[in-house]
Chains A and B, each alone.
Chain A
Amino acid sequence: MKNSSKIVISNLPAPLRLARPGKLVIWKVKGWEKSHEELRIKNYELGIMKNEIEKLKNEILSNLAKVKEERVLKDLEIKYLGRKGELTKILRSLKDLSEKEKKEIGQLANEIKKEIEDKFSEAKIAISGKSGQERVDITLPGEKIERGHLSPLTLVQNELEDLFTSLGFMVLDGPELESDFYNFTAVNIPPNHPARDMQDTFYIDKKNKDGEYDLVMRTHTSSVQVRAMQKYGAPLRCVVPGKCFRCEATDVRHEHTFYQIEGLMVDKGISLSNMKAVLETVAKKLYGEDTKLRMRPKFYPFVEPGANGEVTCFLCQGKGCSLCKNSGWLEIFGSGLVHPNVLKNGGIDPKIYSGFAFGFGLTRVTQLKYGIDDIRLFNGGDLRFLNQF
């Protein structure tokens, strides 16, 4: 039985050749069906059919005996037992026979089919035993599947967001171009407060009615503290990851654009011990269970008391190395109990509620995690860097 459709398709013009051999195409080959039908009727006379099956069986068995390679075995299996295989076709054509014929030949056919299938199984087992003789360089690489890459900042941010979400913190956003009010005044840094010098601020070239610049590129994610309080009130648990800006010349260690993650928890009876416990949990999550936390007093106008947090250097386990500048400690966050003025600005009564706030340098945490020594790489778009993550 020739596969006539194949020949026809190869003669088709280009556009149609690309089509998968669909039914429409085969249909158009006139005369094929009729001759096929005649052939079939002729061949299905009973005796011939039996002979045919026996002949096929012998052919299959003799072929099988010769098989030494798995590939050849597979081809044979397809040729005879496949969906369009020769034996399959014969078996399928039995459905057109009368009941009596079916009974007689059907039994024979099924026995033969079973026998052949068993022989194939045996041959398979026999060959698989021999397959070790084939030379396969198992050290060759697999088929290459390219992958994309997320920024290391995203990876660390996701890790922290997941942790905080599991502790019941919401994840919030806030504007990057921020008002002087939310960035400074609301978090207890009134105009002309020397603390404004702590942060080199980018101002927006647009003066308000009083002739003052009152728009800034936010210098910290703390600008979202009062926004969050005003919107959600107390009790409140949230983290705010985001882009921050400082008017600072860039070099290996300084960047005017960097990322922070702010955290805020306000509830009844929140204490310093609570803050320490939560922050130690974060530190352990970031740098491992053995990580210790050390806090030092530090002035941030929006907290009182304020402290910065250091963790044992994960590179030298606190023994002192170049990463921690021989101190054994790495500073990774600022924190403190929310200043009552900030709570008031957020519409929360400091007599009833207290809370803590903290800010991680996301860029710094990421640098430390992967040992990235040039901060400019984060905003540089260099695939040699980005594709490492």
Chain B
Amino acid sequence: MYISLNWLKDFVDIPKSITPEDLGLKLSVHTVEVDKVINQKEKFNKIVVGKILELKKHPSADRLQLVKVDIGKEKLDIVCGATNIKVGDFVPVALVGAILPNGLEIKEAEIRGVKSYGMLCAEDELGMGEDHTGIMILSGGKTGENLAEYLKLDDTVFEVDNKSITNRPDLWSHLGMAREIAAFLDLKLKEPKLDLDKLAKSKGKGEKIKVAVKDPKLCPRYMAIKMDGIAIGPSPSWMQERLSAVGMRPINNIVDITNYVMLELGQPLHAFDASLVKEIGVRRAKKGEIMETLDGQTRELDENMLLITDGDKGVAIAGVMGGLNSEISNNTKAIIFEAANFEPTQIRKTSQKLGLRTESSMRFEKSLDPNLCALAIARAVELAKKLCREAKVVSELVDIKSFRLETGPIGLDLEWLEKIIGEKIEEKKIINILEGLGFGVKKEKEKLEVIIPTWRATKDISIPEDLVEEIVRIYGCNNLKLEMPRVVMEAPRINKERMIEKKIKEILAQGARLTETYNYSFVNEDQLKKLKMEIRNYVKLANPIASQHTLLRQSLVPNLLENVKVNQSRYNEFGLFEIGNIFMDLTGEEDKGGDKGKLPYQEKKLGLVLAGEKKGEVFKKMKGIVEYLFGYFDLSAGFSSLEDLPGWADTKAAAKIILGDNGKAALGLVASLDSQVAASLNIKKEVAIAEIDFKELARFVFNKGVKKYERIPKYPPVVRDLAFVVGGKILYKDIKKEIESFGPLIKGVELFDVYEGEELGEDKRNLAFHLIYQAPDRTLTAEEIEKEQEKLIKLLEKKFGAQIRNF
């Protein structure tokens, strides 16, 4: 929202010593977020008034014209696409180097072979309206004069962040802002002087407007008044300037009045052509009822929307937008001003459903003070009389109301206040602040009885904490002292899972030398199809923002593969990991709250991906990383065959990750990426992937307990090597298990070479092991070991058909 400094000055005398920038800063510190302070003079820097001297066709483009324009000091050649200009016209010219309000920077350009040294501007390009039908034609002027000077712009505009005032219906107006400024500068607010009583009592010519409010809940107040003697025409320049300054396009005097009052006081108004509206009704729309709104759109309504009707025919969607059928036209002679209050939730829902957010609906949905209607209608009448000499009220003032505001009083305990703020603020100061903001204050012993002004009573202020905010922000939050909390010292509860997560990240980055990545939690169907993943139980977004992010991921793999794609052309070998959540449309563990059941299933996973040149090596390295990670936590990772393969996995190189060699529970999987899938994803690397259930892993880490020291053996170990050939189907895992459980003297077994070669025979491989023999109570003798080894060899021959390589 834009706030004009000149307009504010109607309500508060801002001392000259406070610059607009200072004021913007103070507004930010005490009240609302001011995004920008715009000095209008600077807004049109390097945009000047020019006079068209000559028009020629562009030699090679029918739609373009070559314009010679006089800008005082010199004459410029400009290529222009508009057709509404003629020789002698005065137009705004943006010179080379100008930056238009929409951010466009004007540069010297060559358009279809012809040089152009600037641009002639349309209204919308200057941020002065939405008109883009042609170049803005000025009514005369001095060539070379800055456009701001020509337009007599001397205002400063504050751009306020709308999000910072969603809770403050009263701040959607100049009066509301002025009240705040008066409060924090400790000045007097000049309230608008409007004689409401006189208006209420005036009978005009005694005409009666028939109004029937059928749904008082949705319309707590409806005021209307009829005026005739209206002559539609442009509003005076002072009004147009103010409207333009705050981004509202002037239309005609009556429409401008409704907008002006809304911007000034915060109350949206509507004006009907009185000849088109006979009998006003306020009712819910019927399902499927059609109405054409002022913007020319046909809207289909439903029974939850509120309609203003003439007889049975809709003339406005209450609080959102008027209808085309009762619009003010150039022939309008009499008008009805409507100032009403509508229930905010209904307005919000209607506006959402219709996709129609207007200045009016934005205000109503914030919960406006119904009392504001009276002030606004009186101001509208006042302005109408000022703008149309003949205008006069011809009807009684209609005022149908049924509302009650909770204005307190709120008991404000000063001792409590001191405690919650953390220091004492003088009582006089407190009272001054509250009264400055319009609160009524009465002292009762150690308490203040505080009456809420109606414009703050709709929902903004209701409890003592709300008053704390008022006092603190006007006093200045930055003036409060700092004091660390005094609390009972207590060691924080340790989040073990988080600690393990941190540790895993460290190990993978610093030990395994992988790079951590954070990926989106979303995937899409196409991506999953390419990965041959089954699309089942996926949680879907109702309102996705991007077509590639529609489903919630069930695995970290799809997006890790995207990471491979991003990097494959720049790195020969690389590895990434991510710890993140996956989601499934199954019942999860966490409560939805309020006895509404459980949230969908969510689980933390650890995903790893390696990309390289050689398939076997990448897969082996990935297994090595998994072993290394487990090893860090003093767990041993084992691999066993995987039955339920994901579609992307290479059936020949995929394994379940288990604990040790005989673990039952699967902690995850490790697999190579299937080459067909890789091709369909356009992945050119050999890729290995591991995905581990974080929670399972963490559970095993917890349960592992504290590591116990093992006494260093007194007697030396003896290492013997043993190499033998076995059939290709015999698994390493089984051989290892057999050797390990062979006898008490075998302390360890370590595979150090696997060899496959033609000379061994088809489907055979040679495995070479280091065997570590050791006894706790003696140094083993050579004979003892020899005997043991021979027995072992026999066993391996028998069990696996091993052929010992005897040289």
Contact = CB atoms under 8 A, between A and B. Distances in A.
A42 to B, nearest CB: 25
A273 B517 contact: no
A12 B473 CA distance: 88
Contacts of B591: 179
Nearest to B559: A381
B33 A177 contact: no
Contacts of B419: 269, 271
Contact of A277 (B484, B487, B512, B580): B484
Given A28-B807, A249-B545, A387 B465 contact: no
Given A153-B518, A186-B593, A247-B545, A273 B423 contact: yes
B484 A181 contact: no
B495 A147 contact: no
Contact of A204 (B163, B540, B562): B540
Contacts of A16: 721, 723, 768, 805, 807
Contacts of B344: 192, 194
A181 B466 contact: no
Interface stretch (B42-50, B282-290, B503-511): B503-511
A148 B493 contact: no
B485 interface: yes
A121 interface: no
Contact of B602 (A147, A170, A177): A177
Given A192-B348, A215-B600, A12 B807 contact: yes
A204 B482 CA distance: 43
B488 interface: yes
B478 interface: yes
Nearest to B418: A271
A233 to B, nearest CB: 12
B512 A296 contact: no
Nearest to A280: B482
A380 interface: yes
A171 B495 contact: yes
Contacts of B482: 273, 276-277, 280
Contact of B422 (A158, A186, A271, A299): A271
Interface in A60-82: none
Nearest to A381: B563
Contacts of B497: 173
B498 A173 contact: yes
A209 B481 CA distance: 51
A105 interface: no
B264 interface: no
A92 interface: no
B645 interface: no
A242 to B, nearest CB: 9
Contact of A151 (B422, B518, B721, B768): B518
A288 interface: no
Given A248-B545, A280-B482, A379-B520, A305 B487 contact: no
B656 interface: no
A28 B786 CA distance: 12
B599 A380 contact: no
Interface stretch (B24-32, B242-250, B329-337, B383-391): B24-32
Given A179-B599, A194-B366, A299 B481 contact: no
Given A177-B599, A276-B480, A386 B492 contact: no
A208 interface: yes
Residue from B477, B580, B591 with most neighbouring chain A CB atoms (10 Å): B477
The number of chain B residues touching the other chain, given as a range, is: 35 or more
A150 B505 contact: yes
Contact of B567 (A147, A181, A259, A382): A382
Given A177-B602, A297-B31, A386 B516 contact: yes
Interface string A240-263: 000101011110000011010000
A386 B514 CA distance: 11
B249 to A, nearest CB: 25
Contacts of B485: 265, 267, 270, 274, 277-278
B109 to A, nearest CB: 26
B132 interface: no
Given A177-B552, A182-B593, A340-B463, A148 B514 contact: yes
A100 B479 CA distance: 97
A168 B492 contact: yes
A197 B351 CA distance: 12
A203 interface: yes
A172 B495 contact: yes
20 contacts: A12-B807, A16-B721, A16-B807, A18-B752, A19-B753, A146-B513, A148-B516, A179-B593, A179-B596, A215-B599, A245-B521, A247-B543, A278-B485, A294-B478, A297-B473, A299-B166, A301-B167, A305-B477, A308-B33, A386-B516
Per CB-CB distance, the 10 closest pairs between chain A and chain B, nearest first, are A273-B422, A305-B469, A271-B422, A381-B563, A148-B509, A179-B592, A181-B593, A297-B473, A277-B482, A205-B542
Interface of A: 12-16, 18-20, 22-25, 28, 146-151, 153-154, 158, 161, 165, 168-173, 175-179, 181-182, 185-186, 192, 194-195, 197-198, 202-206, 208, 213-215, 217, 226, 232, 235, 237, 243, 245, 247-250, 256-257, 259, 265, 267, 269-274, 276-278, 280-281, 294-299, 301, 304-308, 337, 339-340, 354, 378-384, 386-387
Interface of B: 28-31, 33, 163-168, 344-345, 348-349, 365-366, 419-423, 463, 465-466, 468-469, 472-473, 477-478, 480-493, 495, 497-498, 502, 505-506, 508-521, 539-546, 549, 552, 559-560, 562-563, 566-567, 570-571, 574-576, 580-581, 583, 585, 588, 590-594, 596, 599-600, 602, 718-723, 752-753, 755, 757, 766, 768, 770, 805, 807
